Amino acid sequence: MTRAVVLGGGMAGMLAASVLAQYADEVVVIEADRFPDGPQPRRGVPQAQQNHMLMGGGADALDRLLPGTTAALYARGAHHRKIGQLLTLSAQGWFRRLHSDAYVINCSRPLVDHVVRGQALREGTIEVIESAKVTGLTGDAGRVTGVRAEPDRTITADLVVDATGSRSKAPQWLAELGLPPVEEEFVDAGLTYAGRFYEIPEGTRDDFPGILIQTEPGTGRPGRGAALMLQEDRRWIVCLMGTRGGTPPNDEDGFLEFARGLRHPIVADLLSAARPLTPIRSSRALANRRRYFDRLPVPEGFLAIGDAALVLSPNYATGMSMAAFGAEALRDGLENGGLRPGLSRTVQAAVAKAGEWSWQMATGNDRWFPGAETNIRSRRLLGLDLGGLLGPLQRGFSTRWARTAADNLQVAEATYAVTALSAPPEQMMTPGLMWAVMRGPRNVPLTAEQAIAQYPEFGDLLTAGAIQARDGRQ
Ligand SMILES: Cc1cc2nc3c(=O)[nH]c(=O)nc-3n(C[C@H](O)[C@H](O)[C@H](O)COP(=O)(O)OP(=O)(O)OC[C@H]3O[C@@H](n4cnc5c(N)ncnc54)[C@H](O)[C@@H]3O)c2cc1C
C-alpha cells in the first residue's frame, strides 16, 4: 500500500496529484484554503485577481497531463490568441502582425484553476483535505516519512510533494529534519502590478486582440507597461506594471494617468469608454526567486515543484506552465519505475532543468531595470568579472534581437515560439536567424497608426483621429 501526499491544491499540486494517482494506491492533497464551487478567486491564490496568460507550451502540457483541459477552457469562454496577433509595443517598437502557430490562452486565473481542479478530481481517486495547514515534515535528513498539519494531524507518506507556492516553508521544514539550508537566488526588479476588471464597451468584438505594452529594460528608466486582455466572461482585465521607481498607483486618477503616460496611451484611450467593475488591486514583491532543492542531498520521499521551487516574474507569464512542466517531470520519473529509491533526486533535478531557460531569460532581463536587487554573484575568471564584461554584450545582443524581431517575420516567429514555451531556445540559434539579427531591421519601423491599423477588430473603439493625435505625440 503506497501513499503520496501533496501539499497545496493549487495548479502545481493538482497536476502532481493527478500524475501520482496513476502510481500510488492513495493520493491525498492537503490544502489550507477552501475551494470555491466555481471559478471564483480564493484567499490561498491572491495573484489570481491579476491578469494571467497561459502560454501555449504550458497549455499543451496541461492537455498531455489531463486530456481535454484546453477544450474545457474554451468551452467556458477562454480565448485562444496567436501571439503574433496580439497588438504589441515591444521595447524596440511595434510588432508587425503575424500568422504564427505560437499562442496563448486568455482567461481568468480562477477559471484555469477551476478547470484543472475539476479535471484532476474527476476520477475520484484523489482525496482532498481542505482547511488543513501543513506545518512541518516528519522523518529525518535521509528520508521524509510524512507531514504534520493543523488542526492536529500527522499523515505518513511514501512521497511528499511540496506545492505550497511561493511562500513555501519547505526549506525551514527540511532544516528541522537536519538538512543543510536550501540555496536561494533572487533577482528583484521591484515589479508591481495594478489590475482591474472592466465591463467591455459596446461594439467590442469576440475576436478583440489583446494589447501588450512591454516594459523596457536597460534604458536607465524604470520599466512601465500594460496588458489589456479579453476574459471568458466578456470582461477586460487591465494590468498596469512598473519596476522600482515606476510603480503603478492604485487610486482612480493615478491609475489612468499611469496608463496615459505609457509609451503609447492606447490602453487609457480604451479604458475611457469602459466601466470599471472592481477596485484596483496591487500585487507587490514580484521577484524572481529560485530555491535549489536539487543541490541538497535530496532526502528520499520529498520533492518541491511549482512556485515552491521556482518563482518567475509574472511579466513573462510562465509560472503556470512551469507547474505543468514540473508535473511532467514527475510523470517521466514515475514512468521509469514508479515510487522507488532515488526518484526524488532524479525528479528534483528534472524540475530544475525544466525551468532553467525561463530563469535565465527572466533574470537576464530583470537585472537591467534600475534599482534591481540580486544576490547572484557574477562569475570570475582569472580575476576578471565575467558578468561585468559579458553582461553588456548579452544585453546588446538581446536588444538587437528584439529590434529585428519587431521587423523580421522569421525572427519574430521563432521568438514567439520560444516565448510561448512551445519550442526549445536552441530553435532561435539557427545560422539563418543569426544572420538576420546581425543584419538588423531592414524596414522603416511601424508607426503607432500603422501598427493599430493592422487590427480591424478594434472597429470603432478607437477613432482614427485619436490614433493620429497619439502618433504625432510619440
Ligand atoms: C501577479 C501575478 C501574475 C501572474 N501572472 C501569470 C501569468 O500571466 N501566467 C502564468 O503562467 N503565471 C503567472 N503567474 C504565476 C502563477 O500565478 C504561479 O506560477 C502559479 O500559481 C504557481 O502555482 P503553484 O501551484 O505552485 O502555487 P499557487 O498557485 O500559489 O498554489 C499554492 C497552494 O498551496 C496552498 N498552501 C500554501 N501554504 C499551505 C500550507 N502551509 N498548507 C496547505 N496548503 C498551503 C495555497 O492555499 C494554494 O492553494 C503570476 C503570478 C503573480 C504573482
Q: What cell numbers appear for 3 in the block? A: 501513499
Question: Does the C-beta of 283 come closer than 6 Å to ligand 1?
Answer: yes
Whose Cα sits closest to atom 1 in ligand 1?
A: 47
- Say if CB 425 and CB 418 are below 8 A apart: yes
Q: Look at residue 466 and tell me whether its pLDDT is greater than 60.
A: no
Lowest mean pLDDT among 356-365, 372-381, 403-412, 460-469: 460-469
Q: Is ligand 1 within 6 A of the CB of residue 326?
A: no
Q: pLDDT tens-digit profile of 22-68?
A: 999 999 999 999 999 999 999 999 999 999 999 999 999 999 999 99
Lowest-pLDDT range, 4-8, 142-146, 189-193, 460-464? 460-464
- HSE-up of residue 175 (Cα within 13 Å, Cβ side): 8
Which residue among 47, 280, 293 is best mutated to probe the pocket of ligand 1, counting the most ligand atoms within 8 A of its Cβ?
A: 47
Q: At what angle do helices 409-419 and 431-439 cross, to 10 degrees?
A: 120
If one residue of 103, 112, 164, 316 were mutated to test the ligand 1 pocket, choosing by the most ligand atoms within 8 A of its CB, it would be 164
Please report the pLDDT score of residue 237 as a whole number. Answer: 98
Q: What is the mean pLDDT of residues 162-169?
A: 98
Ligand 1 atom at shortest distance from the alpha carbon of 11: 25
User: What amino acid is encoded at 195 in this protein?
Assistant: G
Rounded to whole angstroms, the Cα distance separating 334 from 20 reads 8
Q: Which three cell numbers stand for residue 393?
A: 554584450
Superfamily of domain 3-52+108-187+286-364: FAD/NAD(P)-binding domain (3.50.50.60)
Q: Which of 213-222, 305-314, 374-383 has the lowest mean pLDDT?
A: 374-383
Confidence of residue 382 (pLDDT cuts 50, 70, 90): low
Cα 192 to ligand 1 centre (Å): 16
Alpha-carbon gap, residue 90 to 311, rounded angstroms: 23
> How close is the Cα of 42 to the center of ligand 1, in Å?
11
What does the pLDDT look like over 244-270, one tens digit per residue?
Answer: 999 999 999 999 999 999 999 999 999
The ligand 1 atom nearest the CA atom of 169: 41
pLDDT in the model for residue 127 = 98
Which three three-digit cell numbers place residue 312?
518567475
Summarised one tens digit per residue, pLDDT across range 266-310 is 999 999 889 999 999 999 989 999 999 999 999 999 999 999 999
What's the pLDDT at 389?
61
The number of the ligand 1 atom at minimal distance from the alpha carbon of 321 is: 11
Percentage of the chain modeled with pLDDT above 70: 95
Please indicate whether residue 309, judged by its CB atom, sits closer than 6 Å to ligand 1: no
**Residues facing residue 36 across a β-bridge:** none
**Is the shortest distance between the CB of 129 and ligand 1 below 6 Å?**
no
C-beta of residue 314 within 8 angstroms of C-beta of residue 191 = yes
* pLDDT for the residue numbered 465: 43
Ligand 1 pocket residue status of 10, Cβ below 6 Å: yes
Residue nearest ligand 1's atom 37 by CA: 164
Atom 12 in ligand 1: which residue has the minimum CA distance? Answer: 319
User: What's the whole-number mean pLDDT along residues 400-427?
Assistant: 92
What CATH number was assigned to the domain covering residues 191-284+446-473? 3.30.9
Check pocket membership of 420 for ligand 1, CB cut-off 6 A.
Answer: no
Q: Which atom of ligand 1 is nearest to the CA of 43?
A: 47
9 lines ligand 1 (CB under 6 A): yes
Domain layout of the chain by residue ranges: 3-52+108-187+286-364, 191-284+446-473
Give pLDDT, residue 385. 62
Pocket test for ligand 1, best of 5, 6, 11 (most atoms within 8 A of CB): 11
145 lines ligand 1 (CB under 6 A): no
* SS3 of residue 380 by DSSP: strand
The minimum-distance atom of ligand 1 relative to the CA of 109 is: 17
Percent of the chain with pLDDT over 90: 84
Residue 300 DSSP one-character state: B
Tell me the C-alpha distance between 340 and 399, whole Å.
47
Task: Round to whole Å and give the CA distance between 216 and 368.
Answer: 9
CB of 225 shorter than 6 A to ligand 1: no
Average pLDDT of every residue of the chain:
93
Plot region of 135 (φ>0 → left; ψ -120 to 50 → alpha; else → beta): alpha
Q: Which residue minimizes the CA distance to atom 41 of ligand 1?
A: 134
Is the C-alpha dihedral spanning 112, 116, 118, 119 positive or negative?
positive
Report the chain's terminal Cα–Cα distance, integer Å: 67
Q: Work out the angle at residue 101's Cα, subtended by the Cα atoms of residues 97 and 102, and round it to the nearest 5 degrees.
A: 85
What tens digit of pLDDT does each residue of 83-130 get?
999 999 988 889 999 888 999 999 999 999 999 999 999 999 999 999
The pLDDT, as a whole number, for residue 102 is 96
Q: What pLDDT is recorded for position 469?
A: 47
- Output the pLDDT for position 384: 64
Identify the pLDDT of residue 387. 63
Q: Is the pLDDT of residue 434 over 50?
A: yes
Q: What is the mean pLDDT of residues 378-395?
A: 67
- Give the per-residue pLDDT at 62: 98
Q: What is the residue type of 5? A: V
Residue 468 has pLDDT above 50, yes or no: no
User: Would the CB of 318 count as within 6 Å of ligand 1?
Assistant: yes
